[in-house]
Amino acid sequence: MPLIIAASHATSAGKRARNEDFLGMVTPNEPELSTKGMLAAIADGVSGNEGGREASEYAVRGLLADYYATPDTWPVTQALERVIKATNGWVQQQGSIRKELAGMATTLTAIVLRGRFYYFAHVGDTRLYLLRGGMLTRLTTDHVWDRPEMQHVLTRAIGLDSRLAIDHGMGELQQRDVFLLATDGVWASITEYDLTALLSEAAHGNGSIERASQALLEAALAAGSQDNVSALLLRVDALPQENLRDAVSLSRDLPLPPRLKVGQSIDGYLVEELIHASRATLLYRVRDPATQRQMVLKTLHPDHANDEQERSAFAHEEWLAKRVVARFFPQVITPQRKSALYYLCTWHAGSNLQQQLDAGVHFTVPEAVHHGEQLVRAIGALHRRSIIHRDIKPANVHLGDDGQLRVLDLGVAQSGLEAEQDNPAPQAGTPSFLAPEQFDNAPPSRQTDVYAVGVTLYYLLTRHYPYGEIEPFQHPRFSEPVPPSRYRPDIPLWLENVLLKAVAKDVSSRFETAEEFLLALERGAARPLATAGTPPLATRDPVSVWRTLAISAIILNILMLYLLVIR
């Protein structure tokens, strides 16, 4: 489903002879709707002569036209910044060339709705409001002097100065959000209480928004507004599926939070504990004081603030985490406001399987089989969403106090979006859990995840690896896996056959899908897999076979030559 927006607008000179406000919007068709989004803008000319109207109209018309001519690779904020600053230069130039336009300037507030996010740019005292869930929030700050007698004197506007500082902001869209762009003739005359009531009517019902913009103007004029009055309303009726482009764009624009300490807060969430710190990421347990709900907050290490590749990878991880809505994964939580680059997910008491092994926990065969069934189901859920995890291991498998197994860390996961691209980092993951073909730069696949699950269960039962431990940067040679019963005699033959098939060196001998692996575990001893016969020597070690044949042929030739000589 595409992004669907309902919109209405109204503008009037009010009690003045000339209307110096100007507003407009563009709703493009695909593919521009997905790549550039829809754009709306409002401006209020500040000159007392005809230059005010000309400046406001040019600012809006120029932005609506030139924004869509910017490269698709530019972030939304960069495109808005470049176009508005070019407009500022033009307005200044016109004011210096034509005497009747001297001092021409205008305010400008613009918003772009793209995918599941909004972006805005602002200069002056036109305003942008957001009504969400019955609560009205002003998203822009007026650029006026803070002295009481100078509250209507602008400190920033297009045309005032050759150096223009533009305010930018962004956030996530929600269905039924209502955005209002208004000039000071409207917002200065209506209280926020009345503004909320009028916008709430626009938030509900299919036809109410058509009347709402005109109702705002009438209310402002009835309240005694002496200025031009203009309003532009946007209501979000439907949201598309979140795309990776928007997630990466968000990661570029948000700052990284500093390293947080216990007791500090971020966006209202109280930090209770640093759960884990790696080279690239930090995980905190936080609490929402309003609901007392505990959550996990994940962010990048501050050292990576300027690392675009790490930021993009983090955005990709969050994007994938939002797609895996199932009991086998922590669930992403959308915060009410987000001032920094992080994401929240559900917190579950318990520990990962590696922590339990390190604590000396002994897993019985029935426990390992039960955990294996849950783990294989989780991997199957990922694969049905075209996601390959690429780093399954005990440290990334969490066992909650509720008995539910959950898969963690999608940091190196690969989705179907990259399926047709070159294979970046084919050996991403932990070496001892990488399938043999990946050491020859074969692309990750569902069967490489199956292999990692097999190694995880093997290690859970034996604390050994089927082919021995593999060190980073090592290029191992794989022979035949060690039967797990050599380390753990109580492992039944049926389970040994399942594990050996899961970790088979050759892809063709491995389970093809997680579902096939799960079926073998569920059938167990009732319908066991056939014992894999020992492959012939020519398959296991073809080099040795050919070497033996060559040596035998040489010896035979020497012997025949000797017999010919002595005769």
- Domain with residue 329: its CATH number is 3.30.200.20
Sheet holding 167-172, edge to edge: 21-26, 38-45, 106-114, 117-123, 167-172
**Residue pair 113/27 in contact by the 8 Å Cβ criterion:** no
Sheet holding 293-300, edge to edge: 265-266, 269-277, 281-288, 293-300, 342-346, 332-333
In a domain, 91, yes or no: yes
> What's the mean per-residue pLDDT of the chain?
88
Given a cut of 90, whether residue 566 has pLDDT beyond it is: no
Structure tokens at 80: 């808005």
In a domain, 169, yes or no: yes
Please say which residue of 213, 241, 269 terminates a domain. 241
For residues 301 and 375, state if they share a domain.
Answer: no
Q: Express each pLDDT in 456-479 by its tens digit.
A: 999 999 999 999 999 887 788 888
Structure tokens at 1: 């489903």
For residues 22 and 35, state if they share a domain.
Answer: yes
**What pLDDT is recorded for position 419?**
42
For residues 435 and 524, state if they share a domain.
Answer: yes
In a domain, 539, yes or no: no
For residues 499 and 385, state if they share a domain.
Answer: yes
Enclosing domain of residue 110: 4-241
In a domain, 555, yes or no: no
Please say which residue of 293, 318, 346 terminates a domain. 346
Which of 24, 26, 68 has its CA nearest to residue 43?
A: 24
**CATH, residue 413:** 1.10.510.10
Q: Is the pLDDT higher at 507 or at 73?
A: 507
Structure tokens at 284: 């905190």
Task: Measure Cα distances from 26 to 67, 180, 341, 484 in Å.
Answer: 10, 16, 30, 65
> What band does 553 get if pLDDT is binned at 50, 70 and 90?
confident
Q: Is the pLDDT higher at 550 or at 175?
A: 175
Q: Express each pLDDT in 383-416 by its tens digit.
A: 998 999 999 999 999 999 999 999 999 999 998 6
Tokens 């884990």 belong to: 276
Please say which residue of 320, 346, 372 terminates a domain. 346
For residues 328 and 358, state if they share a domain.
Answer: no
**What pLDDT is recorded for position 248?**
77
Write the Ramachandran bin of 546: left for phi over 0, alpha for psi from -120 to 50, otherwise beta. alpha
383-421 as b/e: b if 16+ CB within 10 A: beeebbbbbbbbbbbbbeeeeebbbbbbbbbbbeeeeee
Q: Express each pLDDT in 200-241 by its tens digit.
A: 887 775 557 878 899 999 999 999 999 999 999 999 999 987
For residues 192 and 309, state if they share a domain.
Answer: no
In a domain, 391, yes or no: yes
For residues 185 and 297, state if they share a domain.
Answer: no
φ/ψ of 68, rounded to 5, equals -75, -5
In a domain, 544, yes or no: no
For residues 334 and 394, state if they share a domain.
Answer: no
Tell me whether strands 4-12 and 21-26 are parallel, antiparallel or unpaired: unpaired
Choose the weakest-confidence range: 61-75, 263-277, 411-425: 411-425
For residues 340 and 427, state if they share a domain.
Answer: no
Choose the weakest-confidence range: 132-141, 301-310, 341-350, 399-408: 301-310
Structure tokens at 319: 């994007």
333-359 as b/e: b if 16+ CB within 10 A: eebeebeebbbbbebeebebbbebbee
Which 3 state secondary structure label does DSSP give 382?
helix
Tokens 């056939």 belong to: 530
**CATH, residue 100:** 3.60.40.10
Q: Express each pLDDT in 419-428 by its tens digit.
A: 444 445 556 7
**Residue pair 68/36 in contact by the 8 Å Cβ criterion:** yes
φ/ψ of 135, rounded to 5, equals -110, 130
pTM here? Answer: 0.65
**What pLDDT is recorded for position 334?**
85
CA-only gyration radius of the chain, Å: 32
**Residue pair 456/502 in contact by the 8 Å Cβ criterion:** no
Residue 204 has a CB neighbour count (10 Å cut-off) of 11
For residues 266 and 407, state if they share a domain.
Answer: no
229-267 as b/e: b if 16+ CB within 10 A: bbbbbbbbeebbebbbbbbbbbbebbebbeebeeeeebb
**What pLDDT is recorded for position 207?**
54
Give me the mean pLDDT over the 499-517 stretch: 95
**What pLDDT is recorded for position 526?**
87
For residues 223 and 258, state if they share a domain.
Answer: no
Strand partners of residue 294: 287
In a domain, 30, yes or no: yes
For residues 197 and 330, state if they share a domain.
Answer: no
Number of domains, the chain = 3
In a domain, 556, yes or no: no
